[in-house]
Amino acid sequence: MAVYGGVEMTGVQGATDLSSGSSDAQETATVLMVDDDPQLRVMLGFALRQEGFNVEEASTGEDALQMVRLREPDLILLDVLMPGMGGVETCRKIRERSSVPIIMLTALGRDEDVVAGLEAGSDDYCTKPVSLVQLVARIRAMLRRREMDSAVSGRSLSVDHGNLVVDSAARQAIVQGRPVDLSPREFDLLHRLAQSPGRVVGHQDLLEYVWGTTSSDHLAHLRSYIKLLRQKIEPDPHRPRYIRSRARMGYVLSDQPFESEPDPADDN
């Protein structure tokens, strides 16, 4: 494995191959890279430009917030560990004003650090050294998901006599009449479940729709997001009323009024 400036360059040609079939919108997408490591910014910035992306750079969280205020990028790569305002706090402040997709870059890999980033509003994470092939694939999948959602005609799903409303056009979930603050990836997950109310949506289906992959390596991501989503929309996240688990199969968004004992939350 060849690593330069925190970027795994092995398989760079493979990353270039991923561009085949991608849309012009993705090719001209602007990625804001926020990292205090100048060597990583140079190497990763060069690699992403080679993949057809416009790349802007910030070395601090404060600079990133200013850049987002002036011109919102299509996606943000955000380092967790930075002097001053750290990545998690920066992510939280960006989420106060924007739903732009955010991928956290971390050298930590501990569950609590990953969960902190997700709870702050990030959509995904990559561990350092960054695999360019995987990172480009995740960026393209995230941009493709947003592009597809923007093309979907307005449609709302009402569950449990209107206590839960999923508004596709506004990309908004409303619980008991109040809007819920969901990250783009959380809404993507809820949106896919809402497309098939009352029917089981398989693990691989959800992974393909939200992450652009069917690899079982991403099941931990799926479970983490289901947990976060339940915390935001369920009356009791430990005894889910809306998002029900189906062991070894997937999840189902209940489209029936709450008339029976809800399924206990599990890790399936």
CATH number assigned to the domain comprising residue 195:
1.10.10.10
Domain count, the chain: 2
Question: Which residue range(s) make up the domain with 25?
Answer: 3-149
Contact 102, 121 (CB under 8 A): yes
Please say whether the beta carbons of 74 and 30 come within 8 A.
yes
Asked if residue 72 lies in contact with residue 108, where contact means CB atoms within 8 angstroms, the answer is: no
Give the model's confidence band at 25: pLDDT under 50 very low, under 70 low, under 90 confident, else very high.
very low
| pLDDT tens figures, 45-101 | 999 999 999 999 999 999 999 999 888 899 999 999 899 999 999 999 998 888 888
pTM score over 0.85: no
Tell me the per-residue pLDDT of 194-219, one tens digit each, with 9 for 90 and over: 888 888 999 999 998 888 777 787 88
The Cα 77–Cα 103 span in angstroms is 5
Per-residue pLDDT tens over the stretch 112-147: 777 788 888 888 888 888 888 889 988 998 888 777
Q: What is the DSSP string of 14-51?
A: HHHHTTTT--HHHHT-EEEEE-S-HHHHHHHHHHHHHT
* Residue 153 pLDDT grade (very low, low, confident, very high; cuts 50, 70, 90): very low
- Which of 121, 149, 177 represents a domain boundary (last residue)? 149
Which among 183, 150, 178 has a CA at the least distance from the CA of 165? 178
- 179 shares a domain with 115: no
Angle between helices 184-195 and 203-211 (to 10 degrees): 140
Cα–Cα distance for residue pair 190/127, rounded to 1 Å: 26
> For residue 18, what are the CA distances in angstroms to 27, 100, 139?
11, 22, 11
- pLDDT tens digits for range 187-196: 989 999 988 8
What CATH number is associated with residue 12?
3.40.50.2300
Average of per-residue pLDDT across 95-113: 81
Q: How is residue 62 annotated by DSSP?
A: H
Instruction: Output 170 or 250, whichever has higher pLDDT.
Output: 250
